[in-house]
Amino acid sequence: MSRYFIDRISKRGVFTLAMVAFLILVFVAVFMLRESLPALSKIGLGNILLGVKWYPSHDSFGILTMVAGSLVVTLLALAMAVPLAIGCAIFLAEVAPPRIRRITRPAVELLVGIPSVVYGLVGMIVLCPLIARFSGIGSGSSVLAAAIVLAIMVLPTITSISEDSIRAVPAQYKEGALALGATPWQTIRHVILPAAHRGIIAAIVLGTGRAIGETMAMVMVIGNSPVFPTNLFAPARTLTGNIAVEIAAATGLHESALFTTGLVLFIVIMIINSFGLIAYRRAK
Amino acid sequence: MNPKIQTRELSFYYGKVQALNRVSLSINEHQITALIGPSGCGKTTFLRLLNRMNDTIPEVRLSGEVLLDGQNIYQPGVDVVEVRQRVGMVFQQPNPFPKSIYANVAFGPRMLGMNRQLNLDEVVEKSLRAAALWDEVKDNLNKSGAALSGGQQQRLCIARVLAVEPEVILMDEPCSALDPLSTLKIEELMQALKKRYTIVIVTHNMQQAARVSEWTGFFLLGEMLEYRSTQELFTRPQDKRTEDYISGRFG
């Protein structure tokens, strides 16, 4: 009797918790939508999304430059980080002797946990001056600096999840391939990586989510000018940075436009995650 | 009769634990050699030394020699990949790759650089026929290997090995995960294959050793106690412990 009772209670308990989590998400979305309404109705979604001028003092709130900023920085960062991370994961999971693994594994996990402001600081102090000297333009706060910092930040995330999924490939597959006279590299390339495919895609999607949502480090190294990211060595601004830089001083329509920025960010991340999910399901 | 494989004073350690103690034996060409003994006696470890599969395990140590056609395969400079091509292996758990039946069989030849579709088709059919699986799968070559029954999967794994054209096939308890009918099929297959290949089989099943093999080695606690013709070993064992084991008094 009593264990059936506990079973029923715990089922309901877990269900309630799940509903609470879901409702919080809905509440946040509704709240953002409500706060965005003034801007959406006065300026119009089209003008916000496709507008290229962000002049709060003139009630001009176009965020296309920042959508572009977020996407370009994220894509550049991924282009740098993904090949490196997968190579790193293969090395750690398949090639490195156990002695090296025992050191690198905790090191990589430590890197995941470093607060982003620290990455931003190092970028600001070390990377930006280097880029300034190399390019001869401005302070070095730039799209390139942001992309490099971001690449370094997502590298450990993608590496550690990819490594886990490579390790999760049954040893029997590996032994089967080796016993057929495949070289270790052929075994990795034709058996282990295809079998770890889904985990690696999940790792990249997670890294992308982290990259596009990253705020502090971006604000510190990208220069925050609301212009199109057309020059690697010139500043730009991300959606996240837009909110962080301006929210403290914003009121009225300006504040509402920043909430709209948040809403757009929310939707962009949802779209990326859906693409990730589709890729994940297809990769069998 | 030529020994295809010879081991000399072969000892093996996992870390500090000794798994094999100075095992010397000769395996004859085109015959089936069975290795029997209780769990943990070192017979699987021994088998995996014959194609250097234990290389993948960290922190192991070995002394002694394994001669394949008179060549020590543990000599520095030996091409391990080539050794494994010549000495194929079938594992205890059928382990087809998560690929199609065709891709499973074509895997080895492809890795060796065979890319022409025509040749691959031919090798795949020949290998599946030799593994007595062709008639059951010929219309479903694109189906996943994992969708087959356990016995079919194991024959697929045998076909996959045959496609590489090895000289020796090592079988590590190939039937322990299979039902009696599938076991019978594999045993029949072994009889057909020994005309072209040298086969070494590790088995828990003494009846199986008696049925399929010409030679039997009895392992106990990392040593090979007795090695002689299967008929002799099962009818006139010399060592008391062999007799106890085969008559079911322990193990």
- Considering its fold, how many domains does chain A have in total? 1
Answer yes or no: do B81 and A182 touch at CB < 8 A. Answer: yes
Q: What is the pLDDT of residues B26-66, one digit of tens each?
A: 999 999 999 999 988 999 999 999 999 999 888 899 999 99
In this prediction, residue A105 carries a pLDDT of 85
**Does the structure show a pLDDT above 90 at A79?**
yes
Q: Which residues of A touch B91 (CB under 8 A)?
A: 172, 175-176, 179
Check CB contact under 8 Å for A179 and B98.
no
Residue A183 to residue B161, Cβ atoms within 8 A: no
Q: For residue A4, name the pLDDT band (cuts at 50, 70, 90).
A: confident
Per-residue pLDDT tens digits for A232-258:
999 999 999 999 999 999 999 999 999
Task: Quote the percentage of chain A above a pLDDT of 90.
Answer: 79
Query: Which residues does chain B have within 8 Å of residue A178's beta carbon, measured at their own beta carbons?
Result: 53, 56, 84
Indicate whether A86 belongs to any domain: yes
Residue A129 structural domain:
50-282
pLDDT category of residue A99 using cuts at 50, 70 and 90: confident
Q: Confidence band (pLDDT; 50, 70, 90) for B178?
A: confident
Q: For chain B, what are the domain ranges?
A: 3-97+166-246
CA-only gyration radius of chain A, Å: 23
- Under the banding of pLDDT at 50, 70 and 90, the label for residue A283 is low
Chain A residue whose CA is closest to B94: A172
Q: Do B98 and A181 touch (CB under 8 A)?
A: no
Best probe of the B interface among A180, A186, A198, by most B CBs < 10 A, is: A180
A16 found inside a domain:
no
Q: Which residues pair with B209 in a beta bridge?
A: none
- Is B53's CB within 8 Å of A172's CB? no
Q: B95-116, pLDDT tens digit by residue? A: 999 999 999 999 999 999 888 8
Strand partners, B58: none
Q: Report the pLDDT averaged over residues B145-171.
A: 95
Report how far residue B235's alpha carbon sits from residue B246's, in angstroms, rounded to the nearest whole number. 10
CATH code, domain carrying A210? 1.10.3720.10
Smallest CA–CA separation between A164 and chain B, in Å? 19
The pLDDT mean for chain B works out to: 93
Q: Is residue A28 part of a domain?
A: no
For residue B9, what is the DSSP state?
E
Q: Report CA-CA distances (Å) from B153 to A69, A147, A171, B157, B166.
A: 52, 48, 17, 6, 19
Q: Summarize the confidence of residues A184-189 as an average pLDDT.
A: 95
Alpha helices in A43-122 (DSSP H): 45-50, 64-90, 98-113, 116-122
A192: nearest CA in chain B? B97
B56: nearest CB among A98, A178, A194? A178
Interfacial residues of A (vs B; Cβ cutoff 8 Å): 97-98, 170, 172-183, 186, 190-191, 194-195
- The CATH code of domain B3-97+166-246 reads 3.40.50.300
* Confidence bin at A177 (pLDDT 50/70/90): very high
CB contact under 8 A, A195 and B111: no
The predicted structure's pLDDT at residue A284: 55
pLDDT value of position A1: 62
3-state secondary structure of B18: strand
pLDDT of residue B58: 84
Please tell me the distance from the alpha carbon of residue B121 to that of residue B133, in angstroms, as a whole number: 15
Please state the ipTM of this predicted complex.
0.91
Asked, for residue A37, whether it belongs to a domain, the answer is no
Contact check, Cβ <8 Å, B53/A98: no
Q: Distance between CA A215 and CA B55 in Å, rounded?
A: 47
Per-residue pLDDT at B251 exceeds 80: no
Residue A79, in any domain of the structure:
yes
Q: Is the pLDDT of residue A101 over 90?
A: no
For A32-55, write each residue's pLDDT tens digit. Answer: 999 999 999 999 999 999 999 999
